[in-house]
Structure 1
Amino acid sequence: MSGPVTTALDGDVWHVTLDDAARGNVVDQAMAEQLRAALEQRPGTARAVLLTAAGPRFCVGGDVRVFADAAEDMPEVVGRLAHTWHDTIRAVLYCDVPVVAGVHGAVAGAGLGLLGACDIVVCARGTKLRPAYGGLGLSPDGGTSWALTRALGAPRALELMLTDGTLSAADAHLFGLVARLVDDDELLDVATALASQVAAGPVRSMVRTRGLVRRAAVRTLEEQLVDEERLIRESAADPESREGVAAFLARRPPDFPGAG
């Protein structure tokens, strides 16, 4: 794949790169469509996805120049892009394997929603994160309002979005928007190693765990208990669990990729 998104298979990790560095990896129709295609074209041997970006900025959000050129047609253009981008976010959110992201530089607008859909986000210390919608007179899309509210809570999320503020990498880590904070020059190495570690694990049970965690915030404990029982039964029927139990009793590392 060439264009604003490139892909490569690195062992059992499907490495997807936002590759429009000259424009800050801006989100337009081509970026949205190609990112979704990259996820859908993941080889069957890939047990994890690693999402990174080329250039000094991870993603600067939507293509404002296209919005301006649309003039009176801007509602249609913005709405169509939001619709396409939301399908892309769903492709990340419901990916059949865990998705690890390594982010750096600047993350704005739709890029924040993208982070919220990933399972594990590694963030370089120098990164700045900004909703950026308020300065354009727009409300959020791409799951940005969901990701920020889920991580920061409603008061902090509103303060950030209504003042068009910026969040430092340290604060994003403190509030839980990103999982791990690393030095800028270590980002790619750490994110790559983490993706490989995840790929070596029980990915099917990881995906079940992801679903449980994401649903927990909107359900009662009783609902969660019912779902946990159903999913642990599924996991117990999976070759991964048989391998994990056998490895534990044999006091050896489990070979989840070889479990089928």
Structure 2
Amino acid sequence: MELFIGPSKHQPFDSDGTIPSYHLHNFEHANISLTFFVYASFSILFDKIIPSTLTQNGLTLFLGAVAFGQELLLFHLHSTDHMGVEGQYHWLLQVIIFSTFVTTLLGIPFPKSFLNSFVRSYSIMFQGIWMMVIGIMLWTPEFIAKGCFINFEEGHKVVRCHNKEALERAKSLVNIQFSWYLVGITVFTLSLYLVLVNFFRENVEYFSLISKFHEEEDLFEDVEAQKKKLVNHIGEQKRFVEMGKRENN
């Protein structure tokens, strides 16, 4: 949406059809969204077409790893300045994305690992919260660190500081803020886990959807085998009765 709503001409291209330098970061953000759209679309298709198997689970996680991997790469190679306050926010965001990327990859060989799934969910939630924090703290004038200001450069707003001391102070505040959110989200997720475990202690029963599918498949095969045995048994009884009738005749 930022490609068409933000620009005054409601389109991101220059008059000669090229991409202007001040819109490069918009295309980078759009590519991240596009990859997640592909991931979500194919995940829905897999659910509808492919039965719940290890293959489907692995392919879905592979697509997720591709999406998070590209997100990590684009934020690492972001065209926006990495040296300022925004760069500090982005650098810390990369740490969260990396943990999501790694746990998504680990989900392929370890699909039944609760701890890996828990950490992946934790990092995805942290990633979303930190992105909202970036949007609020970077472009709300009231939240800009002392000694810094919002400046309009090359078609978009950036945070600049009056001197190096103000810049270092602003970066330190970002680090402190990240630490607070890290502790807060950790306390929240673990507390929620303990509450849910305590609430469902007697009723909860974890099972793997993949193993359940295989169990149902095995049960179906057992039923079919029993049907065949029953048919064969009935056939043998009929033949035995017919042979008895022939002998009596």
Mark yes or no: TM-score above 0.5.
Answer: no
Instruction: Considering fraction of residues, name the structure with more helix.
Output: 2
Instruction: Considering fraction of residues, name the structure with more strand.
Output: 1
TM-score of the two chains, using structure 1 as the length reference: 0.28
TM-score of the two chains, using structure 2 as the length reference: 0.29
